Amino acid sequence: MIYATLILFIPQNTVAHAKQDAWLSFLIAFAGGVLISLVVINLSLRFPGKTLFEYLPLILGRWPGKIIGFFYVWLFIHFCALVDREYCSTIVAAFMPETPLVVFLIHGTTMSAYITYCGLEVLARINQLFLPLNAGLLTILFALATPEMKVANILPVFDTGLLPLVKSTITPLSWFGEIITLAVIVPYLAEQKNVYRLTIKALFFVLVLIEIATVGVLLVFGPTLTSSYFFPVLSGTKMINIANFIERLEIIPIVIWITSGTVKGALFLWAAALGSSQLLGLKDYRPLILPLAVIVTSLSYLLHPSIIDLLNFLTQTFPFYALTFEFGIPFLLLIIVLIKGSGKK
Amino acid sequence: MVQTLIFLLNLVFLIIIYLEVPPLVKNKRWRELIAFAVFLWLGMVLSVPLVLGFDLPSPTKAIEAIFKPLANWLKPS
């Protein structure tokens, strides 16, 4: 069972900081993502068969653990709302400006809720179905765009300096950090022994896909143009024109966005529902899914007045907010566990 | 227009209640029922004002206020 989420908003912010070296910052972010996943998996393996929400009270004591747990439920709800909002906004902004945003949000969340209702296994199978499709489509897309590419666009390499590079790394790092969901998934994985290997494999796969997209877009547009587009991947696809015959392929990124967005939203919805049911000591998480889906739909509408606000939030505030929960708290938990010596081993 | 939307929203809530509540009552899962009711109530609190056109405060503003100094550092110059 491989878990990987596709993240296809190439951050213009990353490119704005790192210019032509943006591909480098994804490499660094990948290293950070591996570090985060190592911390999270180590923590999970110390409490075999228990999710994040079950071992939080064990580590911190009953009430503080539950309070932090509810912060995580909020985080997953927020992630889910953000994911839904991201791809629905993209559809509205790029293709269907007349249709109200809510229509897409309701569709997306209903699909996610249905997948979640069927359980984690269905979620993983759907991902198995979509992932090769998405990866293949993305690769074909950028293979078709090669006539528009100029190598000069990513030269000179290593020209930006250290500080801009660090700044540009933080946003992708917070996305790789969404691997924190593993803290909820690990107890349900079939192969407990290979978790480390599988996770790093999955992260590497995500890295390869992101690099294909980033390098492709950079090669087509160059750093200045890329950072000024809202959806560089989409604009990159619009450039494809082979023999005046193969053109207007924008539907492909939209397919990728919708499928991966639905799966990702379903994953976070599942984590939120399972988390809240475990915190409240319920036997079944499924009754909570539909109410949570209503909350997610209205939240994702409520969170941001416009897509510009959304993008600014995602690239400027979101990294620190997310990394607090993705890296800060798990790291502290691991230190506490090591000092107290609780858990197995 | 608003009446139609409110009607549709209520329909959605009724469908959700119809789908979820009978099995819970039949199996006497009162804890689940209470949690379900609380979350559904939260959903109503969030969605009804949106339909009526009120401006709810966005949680984004609070998060942005907390992380403002760091976020400013990340702003492209």
Task: Please give the full DSSP string across A281-321, using - where no structure is assigned.
Answer: T-S-SGGGHHHHHHHHHHHHHHH-SSHHHHHHIIIIIHHHH
Does A10 have pLDDT greater than 80?
Answer: no
Question: DSSP per residue over A215-252, as a string?
Answer: HHHHHHH-HHHHHH-S-HHHHHHHT-EETTTEE--THH
Contacts of A22 (CB under 8 A, 6+ apart): A14, A15, A168, A214, A218, A223, A226
Look up residue A177 and give its amino acid.
Answer: G
Q: Does the distance separating the beta carbons of B35 and A276 come in below 8 Å?
A: yes
- Measure in Å the smallest separation between the Cα of B1 and chain A Cα atoms: 14
- pLDDT-derived band of residue A344, with 50, 70 and 90 as boundaries? low
The owner of tokens 């995580």 is: A72
Q: Does the distance separating the beta carbons of B73 and A302 come in below 8 Å?
A: no
The dihedral through the CA atoms of A208, A211, A216, A219 has a sign that is negative
Axis crossing angle, helix A289-303 with helix B59-66, rounded to the nearest 10: 70
Structure tokens at A79: 């992630």
Q: Does the distance separating the beta carbons of B73 and A291 come in below 8 Å?
A: no
- Measure in Å the smallest separation between the Cα of A260 and chain B Cα atoms: 24
Domain A12-340 CATH class label:
mainly alpha
A121-130, A142-151, B43-52: which range is least confident on average? A142-151
Between the alpha carbon of residue A5 and those of residues A207, A233, A248, A339, B2, the distances in Å are 11, 17, 26, 33, 38
Q: Pick from A163-167, A255-259, A274-278 the range whose average pLDDT is largest.
A: A274-278
Q: Let me know how many helices (H) and strands (E) chain B has, helices first.
A: 4, 0
- pLDDT-derived band of residue B77, with 50, 70 and 90 as boundaries? low
List alpha helices for A145-243, DSSP H. Answer: 162-176, 182-185, 195-221, 223-228, 232-238
pLDDT > 70 fraction of chain A, expressed in percent and rounded: 88
The owner of tokens 């969901």 is: A181
Q: Which one is predicted more confidently, B70 or A120?
A: A120
Residue of chain B nearest A168, judged by CA positions: B74
Does A105 have pLDDT greater than 80?
Answer: yes
How far apart, in Å, do the first and last CA atoms of chain A sit? 26
Query: What is the predicted pLDDT for the residue at A2?
Result: 46
Axis crossing angle, helix A162-176 with helix A195-221, rounded to the nearest 10: 130
Does A200 have pLDDT greater than 80?
Answer: yes
Residue of chain B nearest A303, judged by CA positions: B58
The yes/no answer to whether this complex scores an ipTM above 0.90 is no
Look up residue A187 and give its amino acid.
Answer: P
Q: Which one is predicted more confidently, A243 or A334?
A: A334
Does B33 have pLDDT greater than 60?
Answer: yes
Contacts of B9 in chain A (CB under 8 A): none
Structure tokens at A91: 């559809």
Q: With a threshold of 0.90, does the pTM exceed it?
A: no
Domain range spanning residue B36?
A: 2-74
How far apart, in Å, do the first and last CA atoms of chain B sit? 45
Residue A303: closest CA among B41, B56, B6, B40 = B56
Which positions in chain A have a beta carbon within 8 angstroms of at least one beta carbon in chain B? 13, 16-17, 78, 167, 170-171, 227, 276-277, 280-284, 287-288, 290-292, 294-295, 297-299, 301-305, 309, 313, 315-317, 319-321
Residue pLDDT, tens place only, A44-80: 888 877 888 888 888 888 888 888 888 888 888 988 8
Query: What is the predicted pLDDT for the residue at A20?
Result: 64
For chain B, the domain total comes to 1
Query: What is the predicted pLDDT for the residue at A14?
Result: 56
Query: What is the predicted pLDDT for the residue at A1?
Result: 44
Q: Which of B43, B47, B74 sits opposite A170 (nearest CB)?
A: B74
All structural domains of chain A with their residue ranges:
12-340
Task: Spell out a b/e string for B28-62, using b for 16 or more CB atoms within 10 Å of the CB, else e.
Answer: ebeebbebbeebbebbbebbbebbeeeeeebebee
A132-146, A192-206, A225-239, A307-321: which range is least confident on average? A225-239
HSE-up (13 A, CA, CB side) for residue B12: 18
Q: Does the distance separating the beta carbons of A290 and B16 come in below 8 Å?
A: yes
How many residues appear in chain A? Answer: 345
Q: Does the distance separating the beta carbons of B76 and A227 come in below 8 Å?
A: yes
Residue pLDDT, tens place only, A294-303: 888 888 888 8
Does A328 have pLDDT greater than 50?
Answer: yes
Instruction: Report, as an integer, the average pLDDT of A256-282.
Output: 86
Residue pLDDT, tens place only, A243-258: 777 777 778 878 887 8
